[in-house]
Amino acid sequence: KQTLLPLLREETSSFIFPCHPAVQRPELQYMVMELLRCIPLLLFLLFVCGLDHFIFSILSIIQHHSFVQYSYQASHHLSVNVMGTSLMAELLRGTIGALNTSFDSQVETSNLACLPQASEMTRQQYLDTCLPLGLLALLCVLQVYPFRLRRAIAAFYFPKREKARVLFLYNKLLRQRKNFLHLQRGRVARQARQPPTLGTLLLRWCRRRWPWLRRCLRQRCTLCGTPETPRHRPCPDPECGALYCEQCW
């Protein structure tokens, strides 16, 4: 409850607000880990697509540069002429003359049937191949929103455990704030013991010399580092010069 324990600026980054549309810091680490798990699948997909294109290029080169066409043409003519008018000549013309033949042959063939007939994948096929991986990456980003319902579901079925968790979180925040205050006091004390740098002295002198420059040369909160606003409060010690926001003060 905001009225019971308002969160400090440093504490809001460690909580998940269910109604906040943006991905918050505790969810960002888990989401990045899930996206990193998709990298091996992406590399494998790129390797498969690259291997497909490489094999297609090789088969296409073989198909276009290994085509061989053969053309065979033959002509055969056999003619036996027996001269004379004798009986032997007539007998030879009747027997050997049957051997007279004449034919022409022309054959054309090629190795087209033996060549690879490679077909390249279309852009739509590549898109359909990469679409499941894109959906997987989108689910890794969107899964943080259904995960926010886990606490509400657990609180509905286990109300006593939810009450114990809330009390534990409340006491944990109080202990953290106490330790945070102790640590910040020590840090501010160490920072105050250090001599101011030349830039800090020059900035203070310019602010005192020209008060209208305070809008441009704004200081920051000593603890959280937020830019100076009218609600910021300076340290009562005039020699300190430290500035604190209203929440840190």
Q: How far apart are CA 168 and CA 148, in angstroms?
A: 20
Whether pLDDT at 145 is above 80: yes
Kindly state the tokens that stand for 31. 């989401």
Model pLDDT for residues 44-61, shown as the tens digit of each residue: 999 999 999 999 999 999
Chain centroid to Cα 176, Å, comes to: 37
Calculate the dihedral angle through the C-alpha atoms of 215, 221, 226, 229, rounding to the nearest 10 degrees: -40
Kindly state the tokens that stand for 201. 């002295």
Identify the weakest region by mean pLDDT among 118-122, 205-209, 243-247: 205-209
Per-residue confidence at 132, pLDDT binned at 50, 70, 90? very high
Model pLDDT, residue 171: 92
Model pLDDT for residues 210-236, shown as the tens digit of each residue: 666 666 666 777 777 777 777 777 777
Domain boundaries along the sequence of the chain: 1-68+114-157, 72-110, 159-194, 200-248
Count the Cβ atoms, other than its own, within 10 Å of residue 208: 10
Q: How far apart are CA 175 and CA 168, in angstroms?
A: 11
Crossing angle, helix 149-157 and helix 159-193, to 10 degrees? Answer: 130
Whether pLDDT at 159 is above 70: yes
Average pLDDT over residues 99-115: 81
Q: How far apart are CA 47 and CA 55, in angstroms?
A: 12
* Closest to 83 in 3D by CA, of 70, 97, 71: 97
Per-residue confidence at 42, pLDDT binned at 50, 70, 90? very high
